[in-house]
Structure 1
């Protein structure tokens, strides 16, 4: 265990399991909720905090949401019926003290354990490989010397919202709960006339006979334990449910209209040393019969364990084709499973062209078919004129300028990964009707960006580009320097793809466009020491004489990634980027805007140092890691990666609040919130940090002709290993730097034979090949 992991274990807050697959949390009072997400390919997802609560939802293929429970209500209460002591296995929401608390968030499940009143309790949650539900395995063991009589209450709310409908057609007006004997649980029926699919019916059922139940949460929580909402419906508060804390039994209530939920009470008697196991199933279905069929799969412990084992195996199998071993154990724990799980989840949690294309390109490293499916799905949300929607859940077609770039880039990366040019002939629908080949979608994106050029030959920013919060709405002709850099990269990459495809005429056209755009950027956007962020007649953004903020990170990093900065400018750009470094990453812009400026819009309306206004936006810092690798700065790339990893040395999770096993979107530099994190899990930071390590630092890169090895290896590392599946073959790559050479040259051998330019033969033979890489002096 390295020093950072030892430090985390010593403070007692958490530690990784030895294999890195689980994170053990030892205190329920984390700085904020630390979540795990569990889901399947049927698009059922459960969010689970360290106390066990969280939202459960289903998102259909057409992105129609069903949010199953209101206010994240998923709780299990225990009560010793002899003395009235009541508690939760995960401590909350009753907040009664428990002993030996431990929550293990793992790749395929979450398990929460504790002891109280002589009872060892365990609550395991997993989402099966197939179906629209989650399974709770609850185990109670009597460690006392006398008999224990317990009541266990499994409680959820029912919401079933998340889709569009006319005003006054709220779902609660169409719902009722009923205890179904054949289900052995509560069934929440709905009859909404505008429901977009049939799965708007919830249920909570058990494998063991239910003693009593409540479908009306007012009866369970108590009429004074409610919060009245504007429409006069109520939402239960679960901190002190009346039935639990006052020693009562459930009332066998059912409900319609208001405060619907499901509570199942079990009476359990345990002799000393005796253990009881109960399966509880929570989810949605198209009918009660379908719910009954689902619950029967978990009739006993043996059948449940088979389902659990299948789910566990699948969750590991889908991310198993890519792995790494470095001298840094924390990087190994993060990058072997958690970052891949996080990126994979972003496909479930996000539905946007820009977002999902970035995530999909990262997925090409280990889930090639899923990545291809998602890239083609994003093309369906492109209009015939070349631009794309921002998101299709919720639907938002506000004109952001950067969607066409991501389309070009992602398709190029897909062809590099597969080598399959026939993909370009696949016909894909347009958002506004009709269909065209993938190549025609790509060409439409190129044409859109060319047509969107402004006065200086750079691409217009419109409402915003990648930075959603940079809104130059007072100048419709403003031009984005970042997007223009990105378009240069797209033109360069697409030119190579067209040459690979044999279309030299179109490749020549792209080359001319690239050279012209590069020339225009350097003529009009270069500010003497760095690149401006945007050009505008109302005042350029991100220049030395700009009002408010003077320099933007993305305008510099993408200039390097796209090859726009020549050697002389490159030295200035790197110096400028290095000057922006903070304790835990690189701010998006400096200095932050001190007050609102209508010229740059929303970002300046935030407190200085928060989010896009001078905060360390980790997604953008991920771009910077790859920029370092492009310039041979392996040490800086590694240092930057470690800065923005969760629970870093300078910004531990106890301070930032972020989960220690997944990347976050940003850290605040505001003195009042210094180091605090906002959003984790659904952030492109995961994708770019994964690419930064595997493709940048370790240099395992897809290319049209095959897999190319070109590491930017840090001198502090002596050796690292990577396994990678590529085009039907497995590669075990061993990189050695015995002399700790800085910015050395890689000598690559495939099965003992030297590879020119680091290009490995494209075997496609279903075999494993050993790749040896030796770092030598250049």
Structure 2
């Protein structure tokens, strides 16, 4: 099995352009689909692959989904009506060869370009700042010397699914498609009796005259190009649609019940050197009349498309522009300036879970403070009065995971640090099970829940699972989580500091006593001589030298350091044990992987060894390790760890991992049959933990109750770095100088040219930019 890095071929699949804000893919045959996500604050989202296909969906304020297209069908076909030659600008799904292909995934748009038979084509997709639709602009240019007559086919499927309903009430039973002349496109109407909102109506329309259309995908793709699904519904296959490849025109079909979609055919005549643009709108609407209003505003004003494009681009840059970094490492600059912030932003769109969204929200506090506050308050609404919370509210899952209360306490503390606004603690917020309480009462309920959940060793019970969804000690209701108990220690200390800042010294003292008890219990019951156990159980502790299968778990060590549970005697042994877990491209979640299923451990042991939580390099958890390194002053270790799990890393390039080279992934496999490969990118907490690792850990720019704190853990490899940060109504340009290449040296601080004796900057709140210089020297 070829698993060594040296055996990999160097492939020129992509390049960063536009100062890192764009990733230009140079070959459509990427190891797997490389996606971009485009969305707006109205919660419309379009997923775009390097060929242009992908899903489009809308998620209402109450998290009711409308998946607009089925099987990610979004395609543009071109055909020379004289020669019969046909192709896609992005090569797929026809897979006809094209020349000079590129796909530019940008922060604000995606654009695919190619040439075929002297026709140059581009297909740009963006989501306007407002509205529940996406805009396509297809530009065609005749680079030859002869007149060309082309057909262009825009094709989508319609699904409009994504919500719960009684059996046999499938959406397709309630749908029909028809061409509406005022819309200049196909409208997919629905009348579902259980639809949770009024936007379950799709449309595909154009600003240019439509020559022909199809609302029945059987007519477009051909009756033999369908895959029959249960209950007689079907979904069309788009690899070789009959109308396109047989040189025919759309049939002007309309349909009800089966394989509904929208296909618009345009006839385009191009003189030598002539260029033409076709604008297409795809989305959902409350009614056909509302969809017509959307299309008319573009049809009567062709320049509005570009205006909306520029407005959306400006907004997408502006919302993440307050935080930036410049280091000696260009890849870090490219990923950490905008892509990681876009990825974290998307996680708020793509995830609806208390644990997940609170972590993302705390990362967002670095650059989108208002959005982060909104998200933290939203998560509190899904907490029960007894202190625990749902796992996710879309889809709804209230399985008893034990760790939700910790994330609530931690996130609220970080929010108050960021804003300095103690009044937020008195803000009234609903409970999941009715009624409302102040934010502080929500936090206290979380504390009470974790205290009440203590087991016989004094640690917090794990219940179905904690942070690790796949660690399910279901054969022992009294099993205790060491990781969560570490986290509770951190929460108790953080909340103690907040209460002291707020003047509640009585409650602060109570929290301090609880911290001491929990820390003592952990060290008495969970220390294994060289590392901490992961879980304690009467039926056998998990993650110890004597455990069956896996012996050590990463998270039980990293959080022991983050929470100051490991004392000076234990710390060196713990760090040595963590370092021994290191792999080419990160740190496995547990080591060694389980070789056979163990009901005592649950789901993770049922996976192949080295996959996902069973010994895979779980990048999210490696992100915790970066901050652990920074806490103990191991700056170079922190940087090396970050670079190991960066997209397209030196030891695990995207040509092997398969993951996009511009966003973080959730994990890499250590299984020989899937070695180095990634499963899922974009929707992973890895993004914010790596963001915090670089900005808060290595650069050391941290929020605190008194103001912005500067305590770098700067690597010896770097001579300098700089960043900008918005904080409480002021902006800071922070330059760190390390001329002697000192590892985690002492920083002398200067603000606007004047020495600052404290590590906390003055809390200016004056709307101005302030210059901060940190000069690092030996301790």
Q: TM-score when scaled to structure 1?
A: 0.99
CA separation in 2, counterparts of 1:333 and 1:743? 24
1:769 aligned counterpart, secondary structure: strand
Between the aligned partners of 1:197 and 1:325, the Cα distance in structure 2 is 45
Q: 1:752 offset after TM fit, Å? A: 2.0
Does residue 1:280 correspond to 2:297, yes or no? no
Partners of 1:57 and 1:9 lie apart in 2 by 37
Residues in 1 aligned to 2:302 and 2:718: alpha-carbon distance in whole angstroms: 47
- Residue number in structure 2 paired with 1:216: 216
Question: What is the CA deviation profile of residues 335-391 of structure 1, one whole-angstrom value per residue up to 9, with x for unaligned ones?
Answer: 000000000000000000000000000000000000000000000000000000000
Query: 1:178 and 2:186 equivalent?
Result: no
Counterpart for residue 48 of structure 1: 48
Q: CA deviation at 1:18?
A: 4.3
Q: Secondary structure at the residue paired with 2:37? A: strand
CA contact (8 A) 2:531 2:573 kept: yes
The aligned counterpart of 1:764 is: 765
After superposition, residues 105-144 of structure 1 pair within 5 angstroms as 105-144=105-144
Separation (CA, whole Å) in 2 of partners of 1:514 and 1:139? 64
Who is 1:311 aligned against?
Answer: 312
Is the Cα–Cα contact under 8 Å of residues 429 and 435 in structure 1 kept in the other structure?
A: yes
Alpha-carbon distance in 1 for matches of 2:747, 2:617: 33
Task: Give how far 1:755 is off.
Answer: 2.1
Equivalence map 1:640-655=2 (5 Å): 640-655=641-656
Give a deviation string over 1:410-451, Cα, whole Å, max 9, x none.
000000000000000000000000000000000000000000
| 1:254-312 alpha-carbon deviations (Å, 9 max, x no partner) | 00000000000000000000011010000000001110111123225411000000000
Cα distance in 2, alignment partners of residues 598 and 294 from structure 1: 56
Q: How much has 1:117 moved relative to structure 2? A: 1.1
Secondary structure of the structure 1 residue equivalent to 2:488: helix
Displacement of 1:240: 0.4
For the 8 Å contact 1:213–1:250, the answer to whether it is kept is yes
Counting only pairs closer than 5 Å after superposition, residues 219-618 of structure 1 correspond to structure 2 as 219-299=219-299, 300-618=301-619
SS state of the match for residue 224, structure 1?
helix
Q: In 1, distance between residues paired with 2:10 and 2:290?
A: 49
Matches of 1:664 and 1:180, distance apart in 2: 43
Deviation of 1:321 (Å):
0.2
Give SS of 2:224's match.
coil
Q: Quote the residue 2:672 is aligned against.
A: 671
CA RMSD of aligned residues (A): 0.9
Secondary structure of the residue aligned to 2:79 is strand
Query: How far did residue 748 of structure 1 move?
Result: 1.1
Structure 1: runs of 5+ lacking an equivalent? 1-7
- Summarize the alignment of residues 720-759 of structure 1 with structure 2, pairs less than 5 Å apart: 720-759=721-760
Q: Is the 8 A contact 2:24 2:105 kept in 1?
A: yes
Q: SS in structure 2 opposite 1:567?
A: coil
Corresponding residue for residue 5 of structure 2: none
| Contact preservation (8 Å) 1:297, 1:304 | no
Cα offset for 1:766?
A: 0.6
Asked whether 1:154 is paired with 2:151, we answer: no
8 Å CA contact retained: 1:338, 1:661: yes
Cα deviation for residue 61 of structure 1 reads: 0.2
Could you list the per-position Cα deviations for residues 313-351 of structure 1 after superposition, in whole angstroms to 9, with x for gaps in the alignment? 000000000000000000000000000000000000000
Instruction: Give the alignment's TM-score, normalised by structure 2.
Output: 0.98
**Is residue 703 of structure 1 aligned with residue 704 of structure 2?**
yes
Q: How many residues align?
A: 771
Q: Deviations over 1:707-744 (max 9, x none)?
A: 00000000010000010000000000000000001121
In structure 1, C-alpha distance between the alignment counterparts of 2:26 and 2:298, rounded to whole Å = 30
Partner Cα distance (1:416, 1:768) in 2: 20
Q: Counterparts of 1:730 and 1:93 in 2: how far apart (Å)?
A: 48
1: CA distance between counterparts of 2:712 and 2:528? 32
1:63-74 correspondence to structure 2 within 5 Å: 63-74=63-74
Question: Hey, what's the Cα distance between the residues in 2 that align with 1:686 and 1:293?
Answer: 39
CA distance in 1, matches of 2:141, 2:414: 53
DSSP-derived class of the 1:71 partner: coil
Cα distance, 1:753 vs. partner? 2.2
Residues in 1 aligned to 2:297 and 2:126: alpha-carbon distance in whole angstroms: 14
Matched, 1:636 2:649: no
Contact 2:350 2:683 in 1 (8 A): yes
Q: Would you say the 8 A contact 1:400–1:462 is kept in 2?
A: yes
1:531-559 per-position Cα deviation (integer Å, ceiling 9, x unaligned) = 00000000000000000000000000000
Q: Distance in 1 between matches of 2:560 and 2:581?
A: 16
